[in-house]
Amino acid sequence: MEQEKHIFHTSTVWTGDSDGDGVMQSDQISFEYGRPAQLGGKPGRTNPEMLLAQSVAACYAITFAILVERKRLPVTRFEVEAEGEIVRQPDKTLKYTEIRLKPIIELNGADDATLKSVLDTAHRSEKYCLISNALRGNVEISVEPQINGV
């Protein structure tokens, strides 16, 4: 049996010195990026550190939506806040150490069993997320769900 495979292509162009400007391009989108303001870069543009946290949050949200639909859970809306933490190591290198996902889940009423299922789904979604799985073992990912409308 042939293995299912998908390839995602992207490219980048960088101009200038370390405080220069990058442009990331794929078939669907193009956006500017640079060094993060927290690390001495120019404010007002995205950066790889933020994009990593956003990738985990987006993947988590898609995975959660798929699982909620399959389980027919009464989720009416949800949002996901993500915090990425970077730490300077003793050898002076920077390491992405943690991403904290904080889903805020709106329910249209729920009994105890449904609430338990929603909480389980909130945690399980991170385990099934493709991007989380790519990072597992290198970056700690935690899920701290908040449920409203119970």
Structure confidence by residue, pLDDT tens digits, 99-143? 999 999 999 878 899 999 999 999 999 999 999 999 999 999 999
Collapse the DSSP code of 39 into the 3-class scheme (helix H, G, I; strand E, B; otherwise coil) and give the result.
Answer: helix
The answer to whether 128 touches 67, Cβ cutoff 8 Å, is yes
Which residues span the domain enclosing 89? 48-148
Q: Which two tokens stand for residue 111?
A: 């009994």
101 close to 144: Cβ distance less than 8 angstroms: yes
Model confidence pLDDT, tens digit, residues 36-81: 998 888 888 899 999 999 999 999 999 999 999 999 999 999 999 9
Residue 23 shares a structural domain with residue 89: no
Does 64 share its domain with 18? no
User: In this structure, what CATH number is given to the domain that contains residue 31?
Assistant: 2.20.25
* Per-residue exposure over 19-39, b if at least 16 CB sit within 10 Å of its own CB, e if not: eeebebeeeeeeeebbbbeee
Q: What is the pTM of this model?
A: 0.90
